[in-house]
Structure 1
Amino acid sequence: MKIKILLVDDHQILRDGIRNVIERSTTMEVIAEAKDGREAIKLCNQLKPNIVIMDIAMEGLNGVEATKRIVQENPETKVIALSMHSSKRFVLGMLKAGAYGYLLKDCDSDELIKAIKTVSINKKYIAQNISDVILSEFISGQHEEMILTPREKEILQLIAEGKSSKVIGEILFLSSKTIDVHRKNIMDKLELYSLPELTKYALKTGLISLDE
C-alpha cells in the first residue's frame, strides 16, 4: 500500500516541485494539497493521510498551530515540517506541536524521500543541518512555555497579519465582540497594548514571518 501524503504550502510552485519528487517513488502518492493550515486540517479529517508535509509560515493559520490540531484530531497522521527556517523558535515550535520530522527547504530529493519513509514507520527524522543544540534543548524540556491558548495564538496571528476583528470573526465563525474580548485577554497576558508590540511578539515567537 502506498504512503498517502498531503502537501501544505502557500506557494503553488513549491507544492508542484515537492509533488514531482514524491511521485517519482512507486511507494508514495500525493492525495491532496492545501495552501494554508486551516485547509490542511479539513483535508486531514476528510482524507486521513499517512504523512503531512507542512510549511510553517502561512497566512490564516500557521504550520505550528495546524500541526497541533492535526495530531490531536488524527493521531495516526504524522507531520513533517518543510521550512526555510532553521532558527530555534520554529524548530522547537514544530517539535513541541507534535511534528515527527523537520527538514529545510534546501534539502535534496533523496533526503525528503528518506524522511517520509522514516516517519512512515513511526520514527522521527530531523535534518542533519539542524543544530544539535536545538535538539538537545527540546529533549531536555528547557524550551519556553507558551502562555497563550491555541485559540489566542490563532487570533494573535490574524491580528498581526493586519486583519480586523470583523474579518477575524468571519474566518473563525465568532462575533467581532468575542474577538475583541480575546484581543484584550491576549494584551493583558502579554502586557502588550499596541498593534506594533503584538506584531513584534508574533514575529519573535514564529506565529508570523517576514521571510516566507
Structure 2
Amino acid sequence: MGPTRVLLVEDHRLVREALRDVLSRLPDIEVVGEAGDAADALAQSVRLMPDVIVLDIGLPDLSGIDLTLRLKRDGSKAKIVALSAYSDRRFVMEMVRAGAAAYVAKSAAGTELVRAISSVAAGHHYFCPEVSSLLAAGLRGGIEPAPPLGRRERDVLRLVAQGQRTSAIADQLHISASTVEVHRRNIMRKLDLHTVADLTRYAIREGLAGP
C-alpha cells in the first residue's frame, strides 16, 4: 500500500507552504496538490482523487462547511481533515455533520495534523486534544442551539459583516454608537463568538451578510 495522498486546501500561502514542508518529510504521506480556494479545491479533488483533503474552514469563496458538503455531494471519497484557527463547538459540530472525519486546531497543526491524517486514512475519526475537550464538554452539558437574534441584532450583525464601523452603523440604523456596541456584545454572547472575524464568518454562513 502506497503513501496517503493528500490535497492541501489553505488560502494563506505561507501557512500552506509550512504544512507542506511538515508533511513532505514523512514517507507515508504524499502531498499531491495544493489549493488556495474552494473552486480550485473542487477541481483538483476530481483530477487528483486524493485519499485525504486537509481543509481550512475559512476559505475566501466558500466556507469549509459548504465545501465539505459539495465534495461529498460530488462523490469525493476523500476523508476530510478540517483545519481551523477556531475551536468553537459549533464550527466543530457543523463540520462533522457536513462529513469531516477530523478536526485540528491550527495552533496544534504540527504533530496533531499528522496524527489526524494517519487516523482518517485508517478509517477512524480524530480530534485534537483541544477540540476533544470542547466536544466532551458539549456532551456533558448538551450542545444548546444559539438563542435567536432580535431584528435589530440581525441588522447590526449584517452591517458588521459588511465591514461597517460603529459610527456608520449607528447612522444607518438611527441609534447611538453605544447602543450599537451593546447589540454587538449581546450578539457575541448569544452566539458564543469572540471577534469581529468570527461574527463575519457566522453572518456569511447564515446568509446574513447581504445588503
**TM-score scaled to structure 2, two decimals?**
0.65
Aligned-residue identity in percent:
30
1:72 aligns with 2:68: no
Deviation at 1:22, TM superposition (A): 0.4
**Which has the higher mean CA deviation after the structures are superposed, 84-93 or 10-19?**
84-93
| Other structure's SS at 1:33 match | strand
Is this contact kept in 2: 1:50–1:76, CA < 8 A? yes
- Structure 2: where are the runs of 5+ without partners? 147-160, 164-196, 207-211
**Secondary structure of 1:129's aligned partner:** helix
Alignment of 1:207 with 2:208, yes or no, is: no
Tell me the alpha carbon deviations over residues 122-159 of structure 1, each in whole angstroms, 9 at most, x when there is no partner: 100001111545357479995759xxxxxxxxxxxxxx
Q: How does 1:57-68 map to 2 (within 5 A)?
A: 57-68=58-69
| Structure 1 unaligned blocks of 5 or more | 146-159, 163-198
Report the Cα distance in structure 1 between the residues aligned to 2:130 and 2:105, rounded to whole angstroms: 8
How many corresponding residue pairs?
A: 158
Q: Compared with structure 1, are the counterparts of its residues 130 and 48 closer, same or farther at alpha carbon in structure 2 (3 Å cutoff)?
A: same
TM-score normalised over the length of structure 1? 0.65
1:117-196 correspondence runs (5 A): 117-134=118-135, 137=138, 144=145
Which residue matches 1:98?
Answer: 99
For residue 49 of structure 1, what is the aligned residue in structure 2?
Answer: 50
Runs of 4 or more above 6 Å deviation: 138-141
Instruction: Give the structure 2 partner of residue 23 of structure 1.
Output: 24
Report the CA distance between 1:205 and its aligned residue. Answer: 5.9
Counterparts in 2 of 1:140 and 1:70: CA distance versus 1, 3 Å = farther
Shift in CA distance, 92/139, structure 1 to aligned 2, threshold 3 Å: farther
RMSD: 3.0
